């Protein structure tokens, strides 16, 4: 019985990722003004909003620091053009889950990259004889569209 619940949980998470709209862009994404008085203190949240996940991990308190570090690794792997498409797709899906934890500011960019990578992953997995992996990647293609 336990095994039947895992695919349902994955399906629910996939639907949630696709169907829940990304939150409105945070005003902190606007460029800082030139006339800021005194030193500027940048928090982990602000580094996240700027897309500098490694720096966010460096200054965030525990356990957020580990989540930011995981996001940084998944983002780097998923966005790296030299990563195999199947590995990139897995990393991008992980990055999308972690992005939701911090507000989902990067959801649009992650979904766009998944749309780009998923068809390539399907072809790679079929060529490698991984039928189950190809079906899972095809499900992502069908869910997200091309």
Q: pTM of the entire structure?
A: 0.71
pLDDT at residue 42, rounded to an integer: 85
Q: What are the structural domain ranges in the chain?
A: 42-144
CA–CA separation, 72 and 62 (whole Å)? 16
- In the structure, what pLDDT confidence band is assigned to residue 41 with cuts at 50, 70 and 90? confident
One-letter-per-residue 3-state SS of the chain: CHHHHHHHHHHHHHHHHHHCCCCCCCHHHCCCCCCCCCCCCCCHHHHHHHCCHHHHHHHCCCCHHHHHHHHHHHHHHHHCCCCCHHHHHHHHHHHHHHHHHCCCCCHHHHHHHHHHHHHHHHHHHHHCCCHHHHHHHHHHHHHHCC
Please tell me the distance from the alpha carbon of residue 37 to that of residue 21, in angstroms, as a whole number. 36
Arithmetic mean of pLDDT over the chain: 82
- Residue range 108-122, pLDDT digits in tens: 999 999 999 999 999
pLDDT digits (tens, 9 = 90+) for 61-90: 989 999 999 999 999 999 999 999 999 999
């Amino acid at each position: 019985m336990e095994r039947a619940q895992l695919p349902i949980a994955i399906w629910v998470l996939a639907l949630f990722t696709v169907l829940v709209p990304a939150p409105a862009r945070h005003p902190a994404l606007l460029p800082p003004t030139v006339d800021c008085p005194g030193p500027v203190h940048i928090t982990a949240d602000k580094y996240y909003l700027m897309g500098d996940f490694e720096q966010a991990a460096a200054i965030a308190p525990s356990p957020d620091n580990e989540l930011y570090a995981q996001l940084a690794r998944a983002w780097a792997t998923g966005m790296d053009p030299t990563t195999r498409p199947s590995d990139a797709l897995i990393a991008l899906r992980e990055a999308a889950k972690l992005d939701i934890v911090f507000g989902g500011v990067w959801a649009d960019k992650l979904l766009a990259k998944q749309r780009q990578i998923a068809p390539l992953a399907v072809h790679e997995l079929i060529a490698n004889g991984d039928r189950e992996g190809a079906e899972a990647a095809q499900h992502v293609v069908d869910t997200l569209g091309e």
